[in-house]
Amino acid sequence: DAGVIQSPRHEVTEMGQEVTLRCKPISGHNSLFWYRQTMMRGLELLIYFNNNVPIDDSGMPEDRFSAKMPNASFSTLKIQPSEPRDSAVYFCASSLWTGANEKLFFGSGTQLSVL
Amino acid sequence: EDQVTQSPEALRLQEGESSSLNCSYTVSGLRGLFWYRQDPGKGPEFLFTLYSAGEEKEKERLKATLTKKESFLHITAPKPEDSATYLCAVSDGDKIIFGKGTRLHILP
């Protein structure tokens, strides 16, 4: 298995632009998580899905952030408009939910820089 | 609110010098406590899951233990290749919340 695949690996954009981050989970996994990592705040949970349905988006910082999972093999995290404080590494992770979420498999992350 | 606190933030050890990393947690209904290792520029990589107080897990030079309020990651005779950030996380069955991690540096 190729593991969790995220794209792009790096993204540099200007304030006000729309940014879309993409994630392909491991085949057969039914839970998907989006995290954001900064030195100050560590790894923060933004949103997670079970069976393509958003379960908890309380970690999404504001309405500028939105996430979708149209099918079991694809998810997007969109920021519109982007701001410099959104600069961080964004990770996607997937898991096989069998009564509880356990071992997470992470992608390599997207390094986002908003100028 | 579920919370995970790790200490110390950073730790420098000489090769062979054993030590422990701490993870304190509060969670409504612990369904699992996890340890991950993260190398620079990469995503976290799973190490252990602990489910109940008194449980222990081992892998090479690492041993994880769990009490009702905290977990320890013991590192015995570490080598430079053990240098990484070690992350602790807890699950209530759905959400998985991480601490900020301990940056471990092993000097040769």
Judged by a CB distance cut-off of 8 A, whether residue A102 touches chain B is yes
Q: What is the largest CA-CA distance in chain A?
A: 42
Alpha-carbon torsion B51, B13, B84, A35, what sign? positive
Say which range, A65-69, B67-71, B85-89, B90-94, has the weakest mean pLDDT. Answer: B90-94
Alpha-carbon torsion B57, B8, A86, A58, what sign? positive
Do residue A45 and residue B96 have CB atoms under 8 angstroms apart?
yes
Q: Which residue, A47, A32, A46, A22, is CA-closest to A97? A: A32
Mind listing the pLDDT tens digit for each residue in A18-65? 999 999 999 999 999 999 999 999 999 999 999 999 999 999 988 999
Judge residue B57's burial from the number of C-beta atoms within 10 Å of its C-beta, 0-12 exposed, 13-18 middle, 19 or more buried.
middle
pLDDT at residue A97 in the model: 82
Mind listing the pLDDT tens digit for each residue in A73-102? 999 999 999 999 999 999 999 999 877 667
3-class DSSP state for residue A8? coil
3-class DSSP state for residue B81? helix
Peptide bond before A8: cis, by omega within 30 degrees of 0? yes
Across the interface, of B45, B91, B99, the residue whose CB is closest to A42 is B99
